[in-house]
């Protein structure tokens, strides 16, 4: 996709402004405070940031419309729909209110859409509505987005429409924002082509950095920049936006959580914990205060918070979050609907990921055979393949390491052994899991040459995937596992390389840092070992005091300390 020359000049101008702004940050020059605005006095939206979006219609309805757009930029779709509906209740001829309601039914980053609801909203626009050329262009683009054809075709055509609107109206930051969002939506279609995905994401980031330079209080400017650079290579570019977004839109729980995407990518665990905790608790308060379905709580933040606690060695705190999750699951009856505004929102979502991460990160292998059951929901209900992998992985690791630490959370009879998929069309993640499990079996059987062959295949597949966003979907990164296996067979130099590679993709990941320290110790590299253990202890500064890994690191540093 190529931008028109006027659109390109607009992007360049905004990117230059963004660059100047970043230089000001580095130079320590004061920027705008959160209470100030620029660029024509953008409308204050209380706790959701500030934007400008002229629209034909009632002046009484317009503030509700603006709130809806701001909520839309923070993916607070329920609040956005409520605000847009208020605007059209006040002014039934407010055409852009119907546009907003339709757009709230498209969730591009989450790969969700309710096309029937979106079309129904657009159909309510009166044919004789008096609209500006700019408004007509927005409505035409929305008609394209929710028109005929498959999702990829519609997304590509919509992105082209938004590119033209952004070029035709270079001072319209909203057009730039929705164009950037369309590019982020396109990126989700190309998980099997990471280079194309990266191109779309970086283009989107360049656009939103430009918006940030013009209006640093714009929710899109921070939010979409975080999404654009949500990988371990580019994340540092979005660190200023990550530190600011929660202050721009403190009312939106998603704005509290989103900075964690950058903090996790950079291994900033304390900041990631605070961000996810704020997102989770803010969503709880919203659901409670508005008496909304329990399923609307931000279980995404809860799952991420648990992963961060596991990286910090706060295993008891991670277990407590699992108990909280199980408590919520226990409140839901089988007759309760999981549909909210046409989307599946089960209270049990992310439960399998939380259980899997807890077992693998803590290495409490004996717990994999527990059903982890709440009412009629067991571990593996959401993702049978994930549960089967964790159970077999834990069984093999228990044989290898012979560890068994018990933490009872809803214990019960062990469930039947799930069958591993043999479908040739299985996902790359499932293929990697099967290769990892096969390697562990061969290791137990003593066929070391076959072990390395299998793990080489698994790492090659893993590197073919897009960069990870947040906690690893694989549960156990293959380079980390490979390094641990190499340590067992006394190949510390090769293990060191694997752990370094694992840390490139998952900075400051605890098990990889621990492996790096152990590899350096086997090589006799005292200073490198001390450095790795010291970094590990910094990350584990709030860890449970009885963990053997904690004592291992402290003991080495004490024994090798200079007098």
- Beta carbons of 91 and 57 less than 8 angstroms apart: yes
CB atoms within 10 A of CB 293: 15
Length of the chain (residues): 563
What's residue 46's pLDDT? Answer: 64
pLDDT of residue 425: 55
Q: How far apart are CA 195 and CA 466, in angstroms?
A: 8
pLDDT in tens, 163-193: 999 999 999 999 999 999 999 999 999 988 9
Instruction: Enter the tokens of residue 162.
Output: 């938004």
The per-residue pLDDT for range 2-14, each reduced to its tens digit, is 333 343 344 434 4
Whole-number Å distance between alpha carbons of 251 and 246: 9
Query: What mean pLDDT value characterizes the chain?
Result: 89
- Residue entry with tokens 């407010």: 94
Least confident window among 185-194, 261-270, 511-520: 185-194
Percent of the chain scoring above 70 in pLDDT: 87
Given a cut of 50, is residue 392 above it in pLDDT? Answer: yes
Q: CATH number for the 5-267 domain, one of 1.20.120, 1.25.40, 1.10.3470, 2.60.40?
A: 1.25.40
Grouping H, G, I as helix, E, B as strand and the rest as coil, residue 292 is: coil
The pLDDT tens digits for 98-120 are 999 999 999 999 999 999 999 99
Interior/surface letters 193-205, b for 16+ CB within 10 angstroms, e for the rest: ebeebbbbbbbbb
Q: How far apart are CA 315 and CA 332, in angstroms?
A: 27
Distances from the Cα of 13 to the Cα of 18, 215, 501, angstroms:
9, 14, 38
Question: What confidence score (pLDDT) does residue 468 get?
Answer: 86
Average pLDDT over residues 123-139: 94
- Looking from the CA of 344 toward its CB, the CA atoms found within 13 Å total 7
263, 242 contact by CB (below 8 A) = yes
Tell the burial category of 546 from Cβ atoms under 10 Å away from its Cβ (0-12, 13-18, 19+). exposed
- Identify which has the larger pLDDT, 18 or 155: 155
Is 424 a residue whose pLDDT tops 50? no
Q: Is the pLDDT of residue 467 over 80?
A: yes
Look at 542 and 466; give whichever has higher pLDDT.
Answer: 542
pLDDT value for 344:
82
Q: Are 301 and 537 in contact (CB under 8 A)?
A: no
CA 426 to chain centre: 23
Q: What is the mean pLDDT of residues 546-552?
A: 97
Across residues 462-487, what is the average pLDDT? 95
Q: Where are the beta strands (DSSP E) in 31-179?
A: 43-44, 50-51, 106-107, 112-113
Residue pair 155/185 in contact by the 8 Å Cβ criterion: yes
Q: What is the pLDDT of residue 128?
A: 84
Is pLDDT above 50 for 17? no
Statement: residue 50 has pLDDT above 50: yes
> pLDDT by residue (tens digit) across 216-246?
999 999 999 999 999 999 999 999 999 999 9
Rounded CA-CA distance 544/100 in Å is 48
Q: What is the DSSP string of 477-529?
A: -HHHHHHHHHHHTT-HHHHHHHHHHHHHHSTT-HHHHHHHHHHHHHHT-HHHH
Predicted confidence (pLDDT) at residue 45 exceeds the cutoff of 80: no
Region 70-91: mean pLDDT is 97
pLDDT value, residue 129: 85
Give percent above pLDDT 90 in the chain: 82
Q: Whole-structure pTM over 0.85, yes or no?
A: yes
C-alpha span between 106 and 112 (Å, rounded)? 6
Task: Kindly tell me if the per-residue pLDDT of 412 is higher than 80.
Answer: no
| Helix, coil or strand: residue 556 | helix
Between 407 and 469, where is the model more confident? 469
Residue-wise DSSP of 161-224: HHHHHHHH-TT-HHHHHHHHHHHHHHHTT-TT-HHHHHHHHHHHHHHHHHHHHH-TT-HHHHHH
Report, as an integer, the average pLDDT of 539-543.
98
**pLDDT category, 19, cuts 50, 70, 90?**
very low
Closest of 21, 77, 73 to residue 45, by C-alpha? 73
- When pLDDT is averaged across residues 77-96 and rounded to a whole number, the result is 96
Tell whether the model's pLDDT for residue 326 goes beyond 80: yes
Which pLDDT does position 343 carry in this prediction? 81
* Average pLDDT of span 38-42: 38
If you average pLDDT over residues 311-324, what whole number do you get? Answer: 98
Cβ atoms within 10 Å of 119's Cβ, excluding its own: 15
Is residue 335 very low, low, confident or very high in pLDDT (cuts 50, 70, 90)? low
In angstroms, the CA 71 to CA 48 distance is 7
Mean pLDDT of 534-557: 97
């Amino acid at each position: 996709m190529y931008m028109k020359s006027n659109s390109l000049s607009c992007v360049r101008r905004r990117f230059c402004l963004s660059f100047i702004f970043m230089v000001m940050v580095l130079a320590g020059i004061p920027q705008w405070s959160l209470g100030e605005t620029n660029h024509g006095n953008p409308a204050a939206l209380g706790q959701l940031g500030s934007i400008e979006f002229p629209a034909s219609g009632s002046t009484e309805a317009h503030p509700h419309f603006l709130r809806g757009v701001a909520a839309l930029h923070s993916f607070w779709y329920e609040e956005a729909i409520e605000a847009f509906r208020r605007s059209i209740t006040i002014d039934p001829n407010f055409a852009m209110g119907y546009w907003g309601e339709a757009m709230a039914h498209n969730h591009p980053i989450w790969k969700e859409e309710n096309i029937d609801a979106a079309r129904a909203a657009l159909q309510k626009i009166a044919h004789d509505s008096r609209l500006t050329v700019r408004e007509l262009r927005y409505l035409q683009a929305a008609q394209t987005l929710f028109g005929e054809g498959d999702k990829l075709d519609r997304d590509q055509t919509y992105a082209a429409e938004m590119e033209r609107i952004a070029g035709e109206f270079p001072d319209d930051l909203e057009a730039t924002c929705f164009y950037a969002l369309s590019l982020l939506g396109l990126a989700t279609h190309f998980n099997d082509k990471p280079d194309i995905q990266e191109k779309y994401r970086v283009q989107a980031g360049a656009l939103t950095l430009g918006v940030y330079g013009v209006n640093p209080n714009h929710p899109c400017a921070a939010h979409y920049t975080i999404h654009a650079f949500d990988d371990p290579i580019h994340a540092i570019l979005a660190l200023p936006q990550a530190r600011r977004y929660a202050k721009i839109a403190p009312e939106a729980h998603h704005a509290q959580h989103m900075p964690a995407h950058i903090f996790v990518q950079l291994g900033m665990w304390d900041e990631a914990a605070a961000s996810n905790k704020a997102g989770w608790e803010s969503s709880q308060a919203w659901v409670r205060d508005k008496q909304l379905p329990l399923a609307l709580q931000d279980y995404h933040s809860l799952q991420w918070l648990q992963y961060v606690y596991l990286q910090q060695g706060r295993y008891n705190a991670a277990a407590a979050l699992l108990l909280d999750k199980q408590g919520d699951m226990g409140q839901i009856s089988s007759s309760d609907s999981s549909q909210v505004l046409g989307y599946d929102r089960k209270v049990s979502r992310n439960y399998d990921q939380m259980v899997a991460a807890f077992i693998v990160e803590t290495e409490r292998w004996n717990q994999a055979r527990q059903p982890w059951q709440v009412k009629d929901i067991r571990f593996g209900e959401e993702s049978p393949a994930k549960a089967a992998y964790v159970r077999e992985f834990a069984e093999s690791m228990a044989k290898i390491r012979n560890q068994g630490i018990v933490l009872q959370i809803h214990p019960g009879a062990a469930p039947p052994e799930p069958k591993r998929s043999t479908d040739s069309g299985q996902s790359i993640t499932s293929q990697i899991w099967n290769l990892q499990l096969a390697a562990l079996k061969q290791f137990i059987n003593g066929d070391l040459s076959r072990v390395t062959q299998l793990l080489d295949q698994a790492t090659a597949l893993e590197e073919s995937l897009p960069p990870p966003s947040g906690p690893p979907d694989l549960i156990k990164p293959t380079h980390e596992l490979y390094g641990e296996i190499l340590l067992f067979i006394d190949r510390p130099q090769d293990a060191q390389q694997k752990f370094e590679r694992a840390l490139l993709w998952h900075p400051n990941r605890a098990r990889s840092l621990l492996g790096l320290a152990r590899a350096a110790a086997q090589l006799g590299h005292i200073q490198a070992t001390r450095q790795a253990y010291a970094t590990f202890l910094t990350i584990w500064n709030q860890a449970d005091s009885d963990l053997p890994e904690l004592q291992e690191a402290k003991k080495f540093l004490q024994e090798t300390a200079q007098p």
